[in-house]
């Protein structure tokens, strides 16, 4: 499977979120080389005093499976997300029975995929799940950089994620100066 083709489609969802002032995360669920559900982050725009921590792109894509015209067969599905899934989403993905997760940009502040699952209940502990990081990472990083650079966007402003993202962009800018192969 060509991971970059499907990650591009997840990035389209992330751009859709970005254009609406939302935290720029997008997700697609692929089965047998075809996108059967997608989701874009919601609940984070403007100066809401309350941001939704339920409306993550991954949860919205999992929800969208309900109205997909393709029958969902989890063992044949791959989930693509432009940011590493958080704990909530990683648990939901495991519960859904999906066995492969591909993401673009690591979530150093709230990522859930590095969790040591050995002490969790059997359903989580025994899940066989493969995580593929950093597919089209730079494209996703650039979107987060642009998000944090806009004064109107308040979600996770002045956070570890913001400072890490601005740092990473500076670093990748430097690297690109001497290595044109970096994406
Ligand atoms: N992985 C994610 C982090 C934050 N928000 C999302 O929708 N997804």
State pLDDT tens for residues 67-126: 999 999 999 999 999 999 999 999 999 999 999 999 999 999 999 999 999 999 999 999
Cβ–ligand 1 distance for 161 under 6 Å, the answer no
CB within 8 Å of 104: residues ≥ 6 apart: 7, 10, 11, 81, 82, 83, 134, 135, 136, 137, 139, 140, 141
Catalytic position from the list 58, 84, 106, 162: 58
CA 54, 55, 61, 64 torsion-angle sign = positive
Does the active-site annotation cover 58? yes
Q: What spatial distance separates the first Cα and last Cα of the chain, rounded to whole Å?
A: 20
Proportion of the chain above pLDDT 70, given as a percent = 92
Q: Whose CA is nearest to atom 8 of ligand 1?
A: 56
CATH of the domain at 56: 3.40.140.10
User: What's the DSSP call for residue 67?
Assistant: G
What are the tens digits of pLDDT across the range 112-166?
Answer: 999 999 999 999 999 999 999 999 999 999 999 999 999 999 999 999 999 999 9
Best residue among 85, 92, 113, 131 to mutate for probing ligand 1's pocket (most ligand atoms within 8 Å of CB) is 85
CB within 8 Å of 58: residues ≥ 6 apart: 27, 39, 79, 81, 85, 89, 92, 93
Per the structure, the count of domains in the chain is 1
State yes or no: ipTM above 0.85: yes
pTM above the 0.90 mark?
yes
Q: Is 175's pLDDT higher than 70?
A: no
For residue 20, give its domain range. 3-182
Tokens for 118?
A: 């050995």
Distance 178 CA to ligand 1 centre (A): 32
Backbone angles phi, psi at 142, to 5 degrees: -60, -40
Q: Whose CA is nearest to atom 4 of ligand 1?
A: 56
């Amino acid at each position: 499977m060509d991971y970059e083709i499907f990650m591009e489609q997840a990035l389209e969802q992330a751009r859709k979120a970005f254009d609406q002032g939302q935290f720029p995360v997008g997700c697609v669920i692929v089965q047998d080389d075809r996108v059967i559900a997608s989701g874009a982050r919601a609940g984070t725009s403007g100066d809401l005093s309350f941001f939704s921590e339920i409306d993550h792109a991954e949860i919205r894509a999992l929800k969208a499976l309900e109205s997909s015209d393709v029958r969902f067969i989890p063992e044949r599905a791959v989930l693509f997300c432009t940011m590493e899934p958080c704990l909530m989403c990683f648990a939901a993905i495991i519960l859904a029975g999906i066995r492969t997760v591909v993401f673009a940009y690591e979530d150093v502040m709230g990522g859930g995929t590095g969790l040591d699952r050995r002490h969790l209940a059997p359903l989580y502990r025994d899940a066989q799940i493969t995580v593929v990081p950093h597919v089209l990472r730079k494209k996703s990083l650039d979107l987060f950089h642009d998000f944090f650079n806009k004064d109107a966007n308040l979600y996770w402003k002045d956070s570890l994620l913001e400072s890490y993202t601005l740092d990473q962009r500076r670093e990748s800018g430097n690297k690109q100066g001497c290595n044109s192969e970096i994406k």
